[in-house]
Amino acid sequence: MVMMLLALFMCQWGGVYAQNTWDVTSIEDVEYVKLSDVWRFYRFTPKKGRPGCVSYGSGKHVVSLKPEKQDFYVNNYRYVLSHPVRKVGSDLMISSVDMRKLVDPVLRPRYSPDRKLRTVVIDPGHGGHDAGAVSSIAKEKDLNLAVARKLRKLLQRQGYRVVMTRDGDYFLTLQQRVDIANRIPDSIFVSIHHNAGRSAASGIETFTLAPQGTTSPFARSRRFDELAGNNQDSENIALATAVHSRAIRSSGAIDRGIQRARFSVLCTIRRPAILFEGGFVSNPAECSRMATSSYQNLLADSICKGIMAYNNTVCRPAQNVASTTPRPGRVRTSISGSSISNYAKRER
Ligand SMILES: [Zn+2]
C-alpha cells in the first residue's frame, strides 16, 4: 500500500519558485491527480461547456471531460486521453501522464530554445504498388500526394524549405520516409493520409506518438521504453493541436480528435511529427469532396496555417506565450510510502 506524492514545481516568471504538491493516487497501476488541483493550478473556474460534460476554464480555454471516458475537449476540439478520467468518491481524477503530456503542453505551449523550423518534410503516405485506401472514386495514395503538393506550394510561399519524401507515384518504406526527416536538422515531419473504415465513418483525425508507459486504441500495448519520437512529445502535441484545430474549423468535418498511436513513422522519428488523416476514402460523400481540388486546397491551407502557428509558438521566443504567462514548469515526482487508495479493488 503506497500513497504517492507528486511535487509539482513551477518556475514562475521572474525566477521565483512556487511549489504545489499534488496527491497522486495509483489506480490500476496508473498514477492519477485530482482535477480540483488541476483547476486550481490553472486558475480555472466552472464554465458552460459541452453538454453532459464537466467543464472548467479561464478567458482563453474551456476544458470539457466526462468521468470514465477518454474524450477530452479543449475549446471544443477533441483529444483522446491515454487513460480514462476516473471518479474516486466525489473526486474526478486525470492521469498524471495525460496531465504532463497533453493538458499542460496544450494549455501552455512552450518555446523550445533548441527548436528551430526551417524545413518541413511532407510525407504523402503510400505510393506505387501500395495504394492505401481505395474506392471507386479515388485512391488514397493520389489524394495524399495532391494535398502534399498543394501544401508544398503554400509553405514555399511563406519562405519554408520543403522536402517531399515522395513526389510521384512510387513506393518508399516507412523507414526510408523517417530517415529523410532524421537527416535534416531543424525540420518537422508531416505525414499525410486519408482513412478507410465503415462507409458511414467520416471526419478528420490527427495522430501523435503515444507517451511512454501508455496504451490507447491505436497504441495497443502499454509500452514502457522511451522511443526516439517521445523526445519531442511536447512539440508533437503542439503541432497536432495547431494543425488539427485549423483543419476542423475550416473544413467543418467531423472532429475525430487528436489521438495517440505507435505507427512506425512516429516511433523512430527524431523530429516533431504528426500523421494527419484528411477524411475517409470509404465514405462516398466525403471521398467525392476530397477528390476536388478546392477541398484539397482547403486542407493544405489549414495545415500550412497550423504549421505557421506552431512555428510562432514553439520556435520563436519573441512571440511566445511565455512572455505574458508564467514560464514553463518542471514536473518532478517524489514518492513517499504511506497508505494507498483501494479504489481499484473496490471497482472490481
Ligand atoms: Zn494511409
Ligand 1 geometric centre to CA of 131 (Å): 8
Ligand 1 geometric centre to CA of 292 (Å): 19
Ligand 1 geometric centre to CA of 290 (Å): 14
Q: Answer whether 78's CB lies under 8 Å from 255's CB.
A: yes
Ligand 1 geometric centre to CA of 277 (Å): 8
CATH of domain 4-108: 3.30.457.10
What CA–CA distances, in Å, run from 217 to 82, 87, 98, 111, 130? Answer: 9, 21, 15, 30, 24
CATH of domain 119-321: 3.40.630.40
The residue ranges of every structural domain in the chain are 4-108, 119-321
Task: Name the β-bridge partners of 72.
Answer: 65, 79
pLDDT given at position 20: 54
User: Residues 251-287: pLDDT tens digits?
Assistant: 999 999 999 999 999 999 999 999 999 999 999 999 9
Shortest CA distance to 113 belongs to which of 309, 307, 314, 272?
314
Buried b (16+ CB within 10 A) or exposed e, 190-227: bbbbbbbeeeeebbbbbbbbbbebbbbebbeeebeeeb
pLDDT given at position 110: 81
Could you tell me the three cell numbers for 131? 495504394
Q: Answer whether 188's CB lies under 8 Å from 239's CB.
A: yes
pLDDT given at position 341: 32
Tally of CB atoms within 10 A around 158: 13
User: Residues 81-119: pLDDT tens digits?
Assistant: 999 999 989 999 999 999 999 999 999 888 887 788 999
Q: What is the pTM of this model?
A: 0.85
Ligand 1 geometric centre to CA of 281 (Å): 10
Ligand 1 geometric centre to CA of 200 (Å): 18
Below-50 pLDDT ranges, the chain: 1-19, 319-348
Ligand 1 geometric centre to CA of 132 (Å): 5
pLDDT given at position 340: 27
pLDDT given at position 109: 85
DSSP-assigned letter for residue 222: -
